[in-house]
Structure 1
């Protein structure tokens, strides 16, 4: 079966897509502090890597195998990134600055289940309402959509916090109680 060059190319391609996808997920889990889960994934990752690289090295004179290895690597990066988007691990913090005080944005966002801290701030063009919102990444797009519906001109910046400690809201989110679920 491995004598057929098209089958060999397909196997190498698939192996590398799977390997690089695992690599991407493992790196993200490591960065998010999920060390034990990352360690388990790394065992499968290295096993797949050794098998794929072994196939290429055994048939180094076949240029199509090298090309399949490289193409599989590139596709694996994309697949890994898509998987990470679907998993949406961790939290994001979103800072919102708006001039729309009358719409009571903080309470509207709280009704949607988001944790909001707000205060009045001064900008170059006058008073502004500033908000800091913490949410699981899986709700990120829903948060942006809600903000844009309430204030299309809102200034939004988001980032991933490295450490979260304390607060009543984090406890309820970790128990799976966000929004209208």
Structure 2
């Protein structure tokens, strides 16, 4: 079976897509502090890597194998990113600055189940409502749409918090009462 050049190219391509996808997921899990799951994935990842690299090195005279390895690597990065996007691990903090000062915006976001801390901010053209919202990454797009439906000109900045402690948020996480 491995004597057929096309089958060999396909095997190398698939192996590298799987390997690099695992690599991407492992890196993300490591950054999110999921060390045991990351270690388990890395064990599988290295076996896949050795098999794929071995196939290429055993057949270095076949340029199509090297090309399949390189293309599989690139596709693996894209597949890994898509998988991570679907998993949407962790939380994000969304800072929102509205066009004017209107507490109804914060209340509308709260009614949808989000925890909102708000305060008056001073902008170049007067008072603004500044809101800080913490949400699971899975809820990110739904939150953006909600904010834009209330204030299409809202200024939105997103970042990932390193650690979370205390407040409404921690109690809601424990009770499983967060927007999904």
TM-score normalized with structure 1 length:
0.96
The change in CA–CA distance for 1:90 and 1:174 in structure 2 (over 3 A counts) is: farther
The reply to whether residue 41 of structure 1 matches residue 24 of structure 2 is no
Asked if the contact 1:119–1:131 (Cα under 8 Å) also holds between the matched residues in 2, the reply is: yes
2:141 corresponds in structure 1 to 141
1:14-163 correspondence to structure 2 within 5 Å? 14-102=14-102, 104-163=104-163
- CA distance in 2 between partners of 1:28 and 1:47 (Å): 19
Contact 1:100 1:151 in 2 (8 A): no
Change (3 A) 1:169 1:111: same
How many equivalent pairs are there?
A: 180
For 1:60-112, what per-residue CA distance to the aligned partner results, in whole angstroms no more than 9, with x for missing partners?
11000000000000000000000000000010001000134346111111111
Q: What TM-score results when the alignment is normalised by the length of structure 2?
A: 0.96
8 Å CA contact 2:103, 2:129 repeated in 1 = no
Stretches of 4+ aligned residues off by more than 3 angstroms: 100-103
Name the stretch that deviates more: 100-109 or 162-171: 100-109
SS at match of 1:152: coil
In structure 2, runs of 5+ residues without a counterpart are none
* Distance in 2 between residues matched to 1:35 and 1:174, nearest whole Å: 21
Unaligned 5+ segments in structure 1 are none
Does the CA-based 8 Å contact 1:103-1:150 persist in structure 2? Answer: no
